[in-house]
Amino acid sequence: MKTRSWYALSALIIVALMSAYCSKKSVITPALSVSLSEIAFKAKGDTAEVTITSNVEWNISNPASSWLQLSKTSGSGSQASIQLIAVANTTGTTRSVVLEVNAGNKQLRRINITQASSLYPGYNVSPAPADATGMGSTAVQLAAKFKLGWNIGNTLEAIGGETAWGNPLITESYIQAVKQQGFNAIRLPCAWDSHSDKATAKIQDAWLNRVKQVVQYCVNNDMYVLLNIHWDGGWLENNINAQKKDSVNAKQQAFWEQIATSMRDFDEHLMFASANEPAAENAEQMAVLASYHQTFVNAVRSTGGRNSYRVLVVQGPQTNIEKTNDLMNALPTDPAKDRMMVEVHYYSPSQFCLLMDGDASWGKMFYYWGTGHHSTIEPDRNATWGEESDVNSSLARMKTKYTDKQIPVIMGEYGTYRRGNSKYVPKDLATHNDAVDYWLTYVTKQAIANGLKPFYWDTGGALDRRNNTVLDQRTINAIVAGSK
């Protein structure tokens, strides 16, 4: 009986111990934590580190093994550091993947990964230490030095080369002739895409050197110069949408890294402008345009030297005053304080300023504009909108939104033009010519009164670029009169 009792007791003890052990084991709940849930990799290739903490075995799924490598994909308890390595993204679009870390028993953590795209090599190959020499003016102080601005239109931006649209090569004597007429600032519309390698976005050295030479002509003569990326085939301004956002930003970065590096040694006489007339029409497109402007700022500043302090100019949607007022509610983030301007254009009413070759579906040509300058001989050609009160209200919007807040505004293009030499000759030519003078004087005066810096758009009609003689003295006199 004793032996049987001993065995029975032993069995009870074993059962009790096993029960206790099983009970203890059953309360161990799998635990899992991951140090990062979001990772954004740079386009050129990047690394990150994630710490996984778990008390049980875990594993990671990696559907992006073709471009994302992990130093470990599984572990068993305790803590582990995982290295994530993303190769360069040259696909032209942002790519993404979700990694799942699984420890069983519903213990699942996700890591959302994105990587920007770069289509082109990096061109910021020689960044320089910041250099403030000759760069002492803020945007407001620099704008105060502009008297009147002049566009050298249909020249450096011509697709096919500088002379492709009928104008001669820019000479230093021409710059001097512009200055003699009372202008001390030049806007240089410029094309780059047609002078670059389409596969690499490498701008031709000869073109960079030619543009640099023209900038030097301006600086030699104490002229302020605004260099931009103009229409340039429309690769930026006609592609302000989510589908093209990544590829446009890639080209914007590639071009500005090259332009800024090439022009880095010029002092504050040189400014850069992100675009020309970007075709954004709503808030969604404005957000895409803002990314293009931010890429521009980042690219220029990254090159260092005097570009660390250079004044930069960003364009409102369509450079339209009303759309800029309504949609552009923030400027790009800039590490340089108070070194940014806004650009708009003004050609209103369009039937008086732009329509030159006959009536259009959207309106008849206006030959006569402004108080005292309507025609009784040809009343159906008098302006019916866009006259003085509209000028006043439009330009006042820029004063309220920007210049009153110490953000200078460049009116980078404006103008109206005489039709006496076209096949659409006004019947009341004297009144028409007086109206053109009046518009130029009035708009110039009101722009300056509202703090805008006007740059007249000329393609060779007011100054003869071949012999540097004045072709339209009335136009120049009217603009200068408005500045006084």
Task: Estimate to the nearest angstrom the gap between the alpha carbon of 293 and the chain centroid.
Answer: 2
Average pLDDT, the chain: 92
Beta bridge partners of 46: 86
Q: Which helix or strand (DSSP H or E) is residue 176 part of?
A: helix 172-180
Q: Are strands 46-61 and 340-346 parallel, antiparallel or unpaired?
A: unpaired
Span 126-142, pLDDT tens digits: 999 999 999 999 999 99
Please measure the distance between the N-terminal and C-terminal CA atoms of the chain and give it in whole angstroms: 127
Average pLDDT rounded to a whole number, residues 281-295: 98
- 386-389 long-range contacts, CB within 8 A, separation 24+: 386/348, 386/349, 386/350, 386/352, 387/349, 388/442
- Which of residues 150 and 89 earns the better pLDDT score? 150
- Structure letter (DSSP) for residue 368: B
Least-confidence region, from 23-27, 255-259, 480-484: 23-27
Which residues, 6+ apart, have CB-to-CB distance to 185 below 8 Å?
146, 147, 148, 149, 150, 223, 224, 225, 226, 453, 455
Q: Are strands 340-346 and 409-414 parallel, antiparallel or unpaired?
A: parallel
pLDDT of residue 175: 98
Q: Can you list the domains of the chain with their CATH numbers? A: 32-115 (2.60.40.10), 139-483 (3.20.20.80)
Span 169-226, pLDDT tens digits: 999 999 999 999 999 999 999 999 999 999 999 999 999 999 999 999 999 999 999 9
Which residues, 6+ apart, have CB-to-CB distance to 13 below 8 Å?
none
pLDDT of residue 6: 52
pLDDT of residue 455: 98
Residue type, 452: L
pLDDT at 251 over 80: yes
Least-confidence region, from 27-31, 152-156, 296-300: 27-31
pTM reported for the whole predicted model: 0.82
Residue type, 2: K
pLDDT of residue 107: 82
pLDDT at 275 over 90: yes
pLDDT at 156 over 70: yes
